[in-house]
Amino acid sequence: MTSPQSCAGILTHIRDHVPSDKSQVMEYLTDMEHHYAGHPCQKEISDLFASLAIQSFSHVEFQTFMSRVQNPDIIVEAVLGSVRSLLNERNGMAAESALLYILPYAEHPNEGEEKYLSFRDFIEYAYYITWLSPEQTFKVHPYQNCDILFQSGQLALLKGEKNQARAIFRFLSELSPVNDSILFARADMCREGRILNEFRNLTNQCFEYAWKPDDLAHAYRNMGYYLTEMGDYTGAVTCYLMATTWEDSPETARELAYIKEKAGKEPDVPAILSHGREILDERNIPYGPNPKIIELMVSYAEECKQDGDFFEARKYLSRAKALELSDSLEREIEVIERFIEDNTIF
């Protein structure tokens, strides 16, 4: 295992030996990238390479550099991570400057009759081919291209270019069809534009596809907002309370206070908690995660166990448990962890 201190030492060494002659920087960074390919500190080192490349190269030179390195995808991901951080800080100018270096890598290979789709995780792929389009023929393309486009859509939003952002997100929904992050972005635009019917439809899709606890909580908060706007305060409070099962958010307290003000009285929380399923059933809102998602995760974990991949099995059982909050899944995870511990040679 490599310590953070030794990683820091490598980064300092690379940084301190960057040639002062700019004509030599590309050869130096290329040599260093080859030298540290596969190193335990590769992510941190690639982050540094990405930063130095953007500081040193034009867009054309950056593409030349990328054609020479052994792991271009890791460097693109490093730039992409920087773009995400800058967008979160609402630094649109710096985000756009960095994004321009990697936009050429967002091209999607849809040509002729072949269809390409992208998925963030195996479970999205499994859900698509099992429940949405089992007969469709397509090829899987790495998700990174879609992520670059997604950040360009977020940048367009930050710049106030709403039509451009809307077009990007709609296009991405076709390329990555089981992706809550894209659907949430589209829903946010509907919310801002007061297109509430489409907002609800998109939120229903988010419920169906959610495989992460924070996405499921987000879907409940979105539905809480919709029901508040419809004047259905009992349904709205139920959704906001359901969301807290998977994620705490300051938005929940704010919205509950707003509902209290609008309704002119305190919501009857004990009654809502007692009849939550009934309240949601009456409104055609799911109660908890999509059982089909849970089933796919558990089935895939079982396949991984049969193949001897206990780490992957634990990962997907842990994801299922995070959604379903199941004691039986917890016990299965404990058994796998005990097996891994007993069979790990230190």
> For residue 37, is pLDDT > 80?
yes
Q: What is the DSSP string of 288-307?
A: SS-HHHHHHHHHHHHHHHHT
Burial environment of residue 194 by CB neighbours within 10 A (0 to 12, 13 to 18, 19 or more): exposed
Q: Mean pLDDT, to the nearest integer, of 88-96?
A: 98
- pLDDT of residue 112 exceeding 70, the answer is no
Beta carbons of 203 and 187 less than 8 angstroms apart: yes
- Which of 287, 289, 266, 324 is CA-nearest to residue 209? 289
Question: What is the reported pTM?
Answer: 0.92
Q: To which residue do tokens 């009857």 refer?
A: 268
Report the C-alpha gap between 264 and 325 in whole angstroms. 35
- Render 10-35 in DSSP notation, one character per residue: HHHHHHHT--SSGGGHHHHHHHHHHH
For 278, counting Cβ atoms within 10 Å of its Cβ (0-12 exposed, 13-18 middle, 19+ buried), the class is: exposed
Residue 114's pLDDT band (boundaries 50, 70, 90)? confident
pLDDT tens track for 131-159:
999 888 999 999 999 999 999 999 999 99
Distance of CA 150 to the CA centre of its chain: 11
| pLDDT at position 3 over 90 | no
**C-alpha distances in Å from residue 189, one per residue of 165, 179, 186, 194:** 9, 16, 5, 8
Q: What is the pLDDT of residues 327-338, one digit of tens each?
A: 999 999 999 999
Measured in whole angstroms, how far is the alpha carbon of residue 86 from the centre of its chain?
17
